[in-house]
Structure 1
Amino acid sequence: MSRPPRVVHKRRETITALPLYYSGHLLKKHSKDTDFKKYYGELRGCSLFLYKDDTQDTYTEKLDLDQLKSMESDSPYQKKEPTVFTLSLSTEKVQLKMDSADTGEVWRGFILTVVKELPSKLQLMPGQVLQLKEVLAQEIKRKSPSSRPPLPPRPGFLSGPPSKDKLSSEIAECFFDVTRKEAEKMLEENPECGSIILRPSTMPNNYALTLRQVSSSGPVMKNYRVTQINAGFVIELETPVTVSSLKDVLKYFIEKTEYRLCPFIPSQPYDTLIEASPAPKCLNTTPRAPKPLPKAQVSPMLRSQTKEKILPNKPDEGEYVIPDDPSDSSLNLAQLDDELRRALKQRRENIYVSTDEKVSPYETKLNGKTTM
């Protein structure tokens, strides 16, 4: 059973949060596609929303016409022939095909009006041109910042225990690039880590929320779609809810479940062993042997080829010589007496060389004869 057109129109308006300027059936083809695909298009604000048919309430694709550089017609304006337009966007080229030249001219007028300005040359009726002027005035007013009324202050009773900074960190940690089955498996196997996973949707630029709720019959897995729009994000419920950011999406589910759910944050492993760090390469911890003391270097004694007999140093003349031990066999008494006599004689010659004094009796006795 298809939904009533009024319900579908209301949901589209809630999801897109943009005024509807024009709508109708058309064909679209990307530069990489080979054939045109049929869509039902709605020109809301400065965006073209494409649906599979006129009964679908959530758009399949969106073209941001703010990035439009040029719009060229591949066929002249002639009745009873389809019209093909090539839209050159900043990232790609898209072709739009209308069933007739009149329909194509209306689409061209509305697209150029919301993007740039009212075209000067249009093959339209006066009533259609007047409608384009109203659309232009409405779009200028919508884009003007002063036309947006300030948001009312947020009631204090809506503030929950989690702080905004905490939610900001959790929104980044509970987002995983996984499928629905993978998200449900993560929540089922790790219930202690949390119960909310934010993940990408199968539709481009959209998201999904996977929850694990505990009921009386056991844990239940639920999945919700979050659609991205120009004004923020729309939570696809029976009554759609529009919020400004993904952080508010997460906060909305936490508040609605009375804080029984929390974001899924994987637990971090902890180490159980302490290992000593290796010593730096520049240090050596092995004990070293004591460094040996340097030995004195003595120059070798030079010896002549013929051995010379080392004689004792002779005393200088006029000095007394202490006799050696009498037990020395190398000297005898005769040698001592002879040496003593020679020493006294030499001393006498030195002292009395210029005098005629008599010789002392001691000298006379030593010589063995008496002199007068």
Structure 2
Amino acid sequence: MAQPVPPPRRDRARCRSRHSYEGFVEKRGPRDQGYRRVWAGLRGLTLAFYGGPRDCEPLEMLDLGELVAVRAEGGGLVLRLRGQEVTMKAESWEAQEMWRGFILTMAEMKVPTDLALLPGHLFQLSEALREERDRRATPGSPVTPGSPATPSPPEPPLSLVPSCFFEVTRPEAERLLERSADGGNMVLRPGGHGRGVSVTTRQEVNGTVQVKHYKVNRVDQGYVVDVDTPHRCSSLAEVVQYFVESSKGSLQPLHREYSPRLGERDPQSSAPHPAPRRALQPPHNHGMAEELAKKLQLRRALTGD
């Protein structure tokens, strides 16, 4: 008689999707009498809590689409959602700030600008945001339980995002171009108008620096550059090409390898550090040496050394 085949062993990698960020936290919610130690994992707009890092089935899930505000209070992170509040306490201040950064990044689809984190951590947030945009752009990919069936047009996949696109604000884009003048004078960034992207340019004309910002609206499967005569493009790469051609080459995209932003080292810091300078030695002049010796002897006599 044939023996029944045992069910395959479920492991964490197969039974649960990879999280953008995860770790142990002390969690307290409306159904908790006090804090309890759980394993938390964030993916997109879903924040799940597990009994341990190897568990497959979550004990509870939060829909960050219902998030109203996040604030640091009483040594913890208070998440205020519609109808409830949940408090999380991480194992360190840095981990708590990372949780705040990841939660806000996934909820608002942009990296917060007020995070007290190192450049490497900000780069990690930026990469997680790009992956999430790519995931949401994939047909059939769920965003969160209860999300609308017809969301706004998704952002382009990571592979279609030009290298001159940076997760920066308008003021940060201006500073970025100022610091990287030799690498390019045009960047793409998230649109402050809520849809599509924005283009920031920096040029010097007759000794005067001119910084300009342009809206690029996402329309259906393409983009429309908001200029005097609106120009339609089929991709972000075509948007970049439009600005290059319309400026007759005076505008050039700032590529990531030339930028010190987003966790990348400043080109100056990547250069080999020069050997420490030795103390300057006085020239071999016997007359000058004798004069210095006399002055030193006189100084010691006056100070009593």
Is TM-score (shorter-chain normalized) higher than 0.5?
no
**Structure 1-normalised TM-score?**
0.34
| Higher-strand-fraction structure | 2
**Structure 2-normalised TM-score?**
0.41
Select the structure of larger CA radius of gyration.
1
Q: RCO greater where, 1 or 2, for CA within 8 Å and sep 6 or more? A: 2
